[in-house]
Amino acid sequence: MIIVTGGAGFIGSRLIKTLNAQGFDNILAVDDLSDGKKFKNLSNARIRDYEDKDTFLQKLNDNNYSEKIEVIFHQGACSVTTEWDGRYMMKNNYDYSKQLLSYTLAHKIPFIYASSAAVYGNGQIFEEQIAYENPINVYGYSKYLFDQWVRRLLPEAKSQIAGCRYFNVYGPGESHKGSMASVAFHWQQQLQQGDTLRLFAGTEGYADGEQRRDFVYVDDVVAVNIWLWQNPAARGIFNIGTGRAQTFNEVARAVVHEAGRGKIEYIPFPPHLVGHYQSFTEANLSLLRDVGYDKPFKTVEEGVAAYWREVHGA
């Protein structure tokens, strides 16, 4: 049995569908469907069963699973970077993850989990080293702290632990994320309501729309997760991005190109995001390449085109 937490979420559901395409359907999807709209992400996926995240954790701690667990893909988390309830964030992202990791180590189950580039904060060097990690929000801190927990346990671990430090993921299946969905999603939505794409004006020395992020397509992220599982010698924490930063303007222009229409408008940078916003990210992929992952990553232009074709059928 394969377990995917966050199975109804953006990356988790895409992971399940990709596993389905590869012939795997003995999958337990774990999530919190308080937001019932997320069910749509699983409506065309093949799973063995679904369980609420709290029920699942209790059954796991009670050793109520008799069937062999092949792997746990831990994608579930509170990913709202503007959430400042630290107790809630640490309970969901840190404590929950620690309990899952403890179980997998005790039962020698591969554990592939979602970390985040948010651990780097406003840094300019994006290498998987604590010297470059300085989160600027409690979401980033929750991911940072779990990565430190993993690092302490890795030297003695008898089974695989692999952390996927996601950069800016975009693609089909993210509509339920609301304000946390990618700019590629929001700009497609804006074009359905008018002819204008709204980008943040310049800030922190960047010109209008020239803030740069490492935008990585969801299928590339899923491919790395599955490759890590299939290569158990790959252990540690790995950046998952394209390795090249592209501007918000480039993403907007790619959306305009696919839509065949649209103009760009710059709006004032939100005051509440000043000091809590990553204006630049770019994954260093050296560690991932060193363990043998050699597949290419889509550019923004390639990824937005694939996104548009799947959602709009053209």
Supply the residues annotated as catalytic.
Answer: 139, 177
Report the number of secondary-structure helices (H) and strands (E) in the chain: 10, 13
d(CA 104, CA 87): 25
Report d(CA 291, CA 231) in Å as an integer: 9
Which sign does the torsion angle of CA 133, 115, 214, 241 carry? positive
Which distant-in-sequence residues (6+ apart) come within 8 Å of 92 by Cβ?
77, 78, 142
| Residue ranges of E strands in 167-225 | 168-170, 196-200, 212-213, 215-217
Nearest CA to 273 among 181, 136, 174, 153? 136
H/E stretch holding 65 reads: none
Q: Which two tokens stand for residue 16?
A: 């399940």
List beta partners, residue 266.
Answer: 199
CB-based burial, 19-30: b 16+ in 10 Å, e otherwise: beeeeeeebbbb
- Shortest CA distance to 245 belongs to which of 146, 131, 126? 126
